[in-house]
Amino acid sequence: MARGAYVGRFQPFHKGHLMALEWILEREREVVLVIGSAQYSHTWENPFTLGERLEMIWRVLKARGILDRVIPIGVPDTDRQHNLWVQVVLTMAPKFERVYSNDPMTRRLFRERGFEVLSIPFFDRERYCATLIREKIARGEEWEDLVPAEVVEVLKSIGGIDRIRELYGRREARRT
Amino acid sequence: MARGAYVGRFQPFHKGHLMALEWILEREREVVLVIGSAQYSHTWENPFTLGERLEMIWRVLKARGILDRVIPIGVPDTDRQHNLWVQVVLTMAPKFERVYSNDPMTRRLFRERGFEVLSIPFFDRERYCATLIREKIARGEEWEDLVPAEVVEVLKSIGGIDRIRELYGRREARRT
Amino acid sequence: MARGAYVGRFQPFHKGHLMALEWILEREREVVLVIGSAQYSHTWENPFTLGERLEMIWRVLKARGILDRVIPIGVPDTDRQHNLWVQVVLTMAPKFERVYSNDPMTRRLFRERGFEVLSIPFFDRERYCATLIREKIARGEEWEDLVPAEVVEVLKSIGGIDRIRELYGRREARRT
Amino acid sequence: MARGAYVGRFQPFHKGHLMALEWILEREREVVLVIGSAQYSHTWENPFTLGERLEMIWRVLKARGILDRVIPIGVPDTDRQHNLWVQVVLTMAPKFERVYSNDPMTRRLFRERGFEVLSIPFFDRERYCATLIREKIARGEEWEDLVPAEVVEVLKSIGGIDRIRELYGRREARRT
Amino acid sequence: MARGAYVGRFQPFHKGHLMALEWILEREREVVLVIGSAQYSHTWENPFTLGERLEMIWRVLKARGILDRVIPIGVPDTDRQHNLWVQVVLTMAPKFERVYSNDPMTRRLFRERGFEVLSIPFFDRERYCATLIREKIARGEEWEDLVPAEVVEVLKSIGGIDRIRELYGRREARRT
Amino acid sequence: MARGAYVGRFQPFHKGHLMALEWILEREREVVLVIGSAQYSHTWENPFTLGERLEMIWRVLKARGILDRVIPIGVPDTDRQHNLWVQVVLTMAPKFERVYSNDPMTRRLFRERGFEVLSIPFFDRERYCATLIREKIARGEEWEDLVPAEVVEVLKSIGGIDRIRELYGRREARRT
């Protein structure tokens, strides 16, 4: 076996994620795509449910013809019980040998557990950033070219634009 | 969309499950394969972790070439808080319209929520029954022809025969 | 203040419960009616949700004109973490001074916490027993005169007879 | 049936809440009064336990003679697992058809579940605001005319003024 | 470092446990004494709270003068989420290298995690068995010579005899 | 018995904690050292696991020869369910009569439960403050003389300096 895990929240899954995934697929036979913070939804940081994110990602994988090399799974976060989180991933995920992540916490926790952890090159990070994309959606700016077409499709069909706009409004109101 | 959900614990995934899945695929464009009691493992009823079950199922789906029509996901049970369980499924699963299950509780809970629930014909139920297969494994009887080859492979690679034998011994000890 | 707490699961609330409640009301100015195991439903022991039980009880209290003396609340059980349960009750319930219960565990836990605990006389215990009433419902025997009319009404409106019958069937199947 | 649900945290229950409740009672036969964030207490946002809030509200309802039209219940929040919260309410509450709330999250979640959601007119919002009332209590300003007399009574009997003052002090200390 | 972990529920801590502990201390510099199922109490299997068990054990260790070589800690069980349990132990316990246990589940879980697991010789197992000791207590038979004097002392001071008797009665009632 | 409880998070255990502990030991026969927020780790506020903190504290107590007078235990926090927290402590801790703490919440909760609560004099608070010590560690400043030698030893052996530095970096990044 030669499998890597790619960890993210994918709120939503954008072209930067896709490029990273393709970059990993050049290095690994298969990839476990770990959709983190799986239990949350309807917050600014995590607007979409796990089911909605799986729908987006599964359609993208299908359209790219890589469903036979990528295994998407949802994993809840453990709030601040960080020392349990890696074990939760290992319990819920098919086996993998390496972890790809740029998040310092994910990197540290897997390294403390003895995993090899690799960095992912950033692909036009200014543009492909989930927070910025949500902000663009909220403000009515251009965003559709930043995510795969399948994501646009799902996001619209579930009323995602309205939801993000509302959550953005709440966040702004709280900041004032 | 025209999707059905097929709910089971798949401990392990056997040929009866596969025949049922194929029968549903004749009726639905896509199937969400809900792997229930996802949080448990190392018990007689639920010997395998979610990750191990996903590994078995994913390999079967890949070998059959149906990864583009079947979406496997894990869903925890909610102990006896049955009235929350359907909502947990709906939060974690991509959208589906119909439910296929012969389990009376699953059927009732989804029907109370307004879902159409359909029965699955049994395919040689005497032979293809997860409990019987685990008992055969524990007793050293023939079992390998009852599950897909990929399941045999994964089950052996994770020391599953030993684990089941041990759990069977504990159950027998308790019964005396 | 002079308040007592009356603890039960009320699956369903029957005439024995009502007689007990009236007996306590002769001794206390007000009663906190603690509906225990509040989180469970759709099991043989706890077929009804908290909301359904509250509906039954509230209508009975209203019909008897005792809503100004009885405060019904739901309290979850704490599985086997018994030493937390009394504190959960005290956090969720308006203040009370005495506890009325015949359940040995409830009695012990409140006494260990320093509460005065009183027994309730049984009112025709052979007939007014929730388990027996559920069994009668399941077997199609006479049961409607064993519960207040409001309970019959609610139970029927939510499909409670079917639900109990099904849960009874599952229990019987498991016993064989 | 013609029932509405009125959702709030009621920390504490003030005259604005009472006016809103009376306004809803003109439109509905009965109201389920959902006391949210039921599990929290002793924080600035949620100083009072569910039991203490129920005590305040029950006395107000009794004094107004509306106990036969208002059913108060406690419902925990689900932290950020927002997609489960409506189901938790539906499990714990007697049936209702409409929801009255001005909170955007509550409104969104119930609407996504298919409920009719109505706004409540604000009754002198500058004055009747729970946060402002807690701030007045903490600073030793006039507050007693902002809440029903029964709330003053309960709040004082449980040492609520001291508790709020202390929580306010902690909040101020953290802000500096 | 050269530390072993000794895992048990210690309901109550008896002379067989003490002999096992002393046997391990001949082989290890220090021992982490893992008090399992820490969250439960007031059940037949787990009558005593963690605090009560710690009190018994700490006094025994102090009387034997081995507090500088034995570190007692409480660890909750994870219900049937067995694949998380070892990680919970590792998070809550000071570091150790080896595990001493005769319990098949504990042995399997630690071995699957890569730990060396050793058996403990049984010391007059017929007599020194926590279940039998609880049964003797319940039936009013001789039991005091089966546990260290400090355990007798604590057990009596907390009303433990009454509690065990009551729990025994409940168990017997359920069996009939 | 004459026991006090001393409550803290001990992230890490420093000389100010040790002086406070010794001050309490002059007033009490024994002390239950309650290590709070036991479930968290790998955050800026709580960098160390319970096991790591226990290791530090146990070694300090051993070196000071006070293991026979101090009982260290871990207790999780209950998030914002403050009204349950004291009961959790009482369930997990050996019995004690008095509480020593300067934390307003801890003081209030134990006083509301009827405990005598005493203040601890501050011992050079400017220097002996866990947050400041973590900041010094992160910035590469002098910190080793602020904690007992055993704490330095454990902290280094587990890679604690790196971990704190990383968590500090994350906190700073978020503040900008």
Span E113-171, pLDDT tens digits: 999 999 999 888 889 999 999 999 999 999 999 999 999 999 999 999 999 999 999 88
3-class SS string, A104-156: HHHHHHHHHCCCEEECCCCCCCCCCCHHHHHHHHHHCCCCHHHCCHHHHHHHH
Distance from D124 to chain C by nearest Cα, in Å?
A: 30
Q: Quick check: F147 and F17 in contact, CB under 8 A? A: no
Is E53 a residue whose pLDDT tops 80?
yes
CB-based contacts of E125, cutoff 8 Å, min separation 6: E16
Q: Quick check: E79 and E166 in contact, CB under 8 A? A: no
| Residue C32: its H or E element | strand C30-35
**Side-chain half-sphere of B8: how many Cα atoms within 13 Å?**
25
Cα separation, C170 vs C43, in Å, equals 9
> Tokens 């801890």 — which residue?
F106
Q: For residue C89, what pLDDT is reported? A: 98
CB-based contacts of D135, cutoff 8 Å, min separation 6: D141, D168
Question: How far from A146 is each of A125, A132, A164, E162, CA to CA, in Å?
Answer: 11, 10, 16, 69
ipTM passes above 0.90 = yes
Which amino acid does the sequence have at E153? Answer: E
CB-based contacts of E62, cutoff 8 Å, min separation 6: E150, F68
CB-based contacts of A85, cutoff 8 Å, min separation 6: A77, A78, A109
Distance from B125 to chain E by nearest Cα, in Å?
A: 28
Cα separation, D84 vs D101, in Å, equals 18
Q: For chain B, what is the mean pLDDT? A: 96
Q: Quick check: E167 and E161 in contact, CB under 8 A? A: no
Is D1 a residue whose pLDDT tops 60?
no
Cα separation, F5 vs F3, in Å, equals 7
Distance from A94 to chain B by nearest Cα, in Å?
A: 4
Domain count, chain E: 1
Degrees (nearest 5) of the Cα angle D113, D117, D122?
A: 145
Mean pLDDT of E22-41: 98
D82–A40: do the CB atoms touch at under 8 Å? yes
Cα separation, C27 vs C35, in Å, equals 20
Listing DSSP states for D82-138 in one string gives HHHHHHHHHHHS---SEEE---HHHHHHHHHTT-EEE----SSTTTS-HHHHHHHHH
pLDDT band at D176 (very low <50, low <70, confident <90, very high): low
Span A95-145, pLDDT tens digits: 999 999 999 999 999 999 999 999 999 888 889 999 999 999 999 999 999
Cα separation, F125 vs F120, in Å, equals 11
Is B176 a residue whose pLDDT tops 70?
no
Q: How many CB atoms lie within 10 A of CB F58?
A: 23
C-alpha closest to that of A79 among E82, E93, E88, F42: F42
Q: Strand, coil or helix: what is E10? A: coil
Q: Quick check: D168 and D134 in contact, CB under 8 A? A: yes
Q: Strand, coil or helix: what is D66? A: coil
| Residue B100: its H or E element | strand B98-100
pLDDT band at F1 (very low <50, low <70, confident <90, very high): low
Cα separation, E115 vs E94, in Å, equals 15
Q: Which residues of B touch E (CB under 8 A)?
A: 39-43, 46, 49, 159, 163, 166, 169-170
Axis crossing angle, helix D82-92 with helix D104-112, rounded to the nearest 10: 80
Q: Give the residue on E whose Cα is nearest the Cα of B159.
A: E112
For residue B41, give the DSSP letter: B
Cα separation, C84 vs E40, in Å, equals 10
Cα separation, A155 vs B68, in Å, equals 20
Sign of CA dihedral E73, E79, E82, E84: negative
B41–E83: do the CB atoms touch at under 8 Å? yes
Which amino acid does the sequence have at F48? Answer: F
CB-based contacts of A59, cutoff 8 Å, min separation 6: A150, A151, A153, A154
Listing DSSP states for E30-91 in one string gives EEEEEE-STT-BSSSS--S-HHHHHHHHHHHHHHHT-TTTEEEEE----TTBHHHHHHHHHH
Q: For residue E123, what pLDDT is reported? A: 84
Cα separation, D98 vs D4, in Å, equals 5
Mean pLDDT of D131-135: 98
Nearest to E83 among B42, B159, B166 (CB): B42
Phi-psi region of C106 (alpha: psi -120 to 50; beta: other; left: phi over 0): alpha
Span B47-67, pLDDT tens digits: 999 999 999 999 999 999 999
Q: Where are the alpha helices (DSSP H) in C26-158?
A: 50-64, 82-92, 104-112, 130-139, 149-157
Q: Do chains E and A touch (3 or more CB pairs under 8 A)?
A: yes
C-alpha closest to that of B8 among B28, B38, B42, B30: B38
Best of C84, C85, C112, C115 to substitute, by most chain F Cβ atoms within 10 angstroms, is: C84
Q: For residue B1, what pLDDT is reported? A: 54
Cα separation, F153 vs A92, in Å, equals 36
- The first and second tokens of residue C83, run together, are 């030493």
F92–E49: do the CB atoms touch at under 8 Å? yes
Residue B39, φ and ψ in degrees, nearest 5: -85, -10
Q: Which domain does B79 fall in, by range?
A: 3-175
Residue F3, φ and ψ in degrees, nearest 5: -125, 140
Cα separation, E81 vs B38, in Å, equals 9
3-class SS string, chain F: CCEEEEEECCCCCCHHHHHHHHHHHCCCCEEEEEECCCCCECCCCCCCCHHHHHHHHHHHHHHHCCCCCEEEEECCCCCCEHHHHHHHHHHHCCCCCEEECCCHHHHHHHHHCCCEEECCCCCCCCCCCHHHHHHHHHHCCCCHHHCCHHHHHHHHHCCHHHHHHHHHHHHHHHHC
> Could you give the dihedral angle defined by the CA atoms of residues A49, A52, A56 and A59, in that order, rounded to the nearest 10 degrees?
140
Distance from D32 to chain C by nearest Cα, in Å?
A: 11
pLDDT band at B172 (very low <50, low <70, confident <90, very high): confident
Task: State which residues of chain C have pLDDT below 50.
Answer: none
Span F102-145, pLDDT tens digits: 999 999 999 999 999 999 998 888 899 999 999 999 999 999 99
pLDDT band at E1 (very low <50, low <70, confident <90, very high): low
Q: Which residues of D touch F112 (CB under 8 A)?
A: 159
Q: Which residues of E touch B (CB under 8 A)?
A: 80-83, 104-105, 108-109, 112
Best of D87, D89, D91, D112 to substitute, by most chain B Cβ atoms within 10 angstroms, is: D87
Best of B37, B40, B44, B172 to substitute, by most chain E Cβ atoms within 10 angstroms, is: B40
Radius of gyration of chain F, Cα coordinates, nearest whole angstrom: 16
Nearest to F50 among E41, E55, E92 (CB): E92
Nearest to A51 among B39, B62, B93 (CB): B93
Question: How far from F10 is each of C104, F45, F81, CA to CA, in Å?
Answer: 41, 10, 22
Nearest to C46 among B80, B104, B108 (CB): B80
Span B137-165, pLDDT tens digits: 999 999 999 999 999 999 999 999 999 99
| Burial class of D58 by CB neighbour count within 10 A (0 to 12, 13 to 18, 19+) | buried
Indicate which CATH number applies to the domain containing E61.
3.40.50.620
Q: Do chains A and C touch (3 or more CB pairs under 8 A)?
A: no
Distance from C23 to chain F by nearest Cα, in Å?
A: 32
Q: Quick check: F128 and F14 in contact, CB under 8 A? A: yes
Mean pLDDT of D77-88: 96
Mean pLDDT of F19-30: 97
Q: Which residues of E touch A (CB under 8 A)?
A: 81, 83-84, 86-88, 90-91
Degrees (nearest 5) of the Cα angle C155, C156, C160?
A: 60
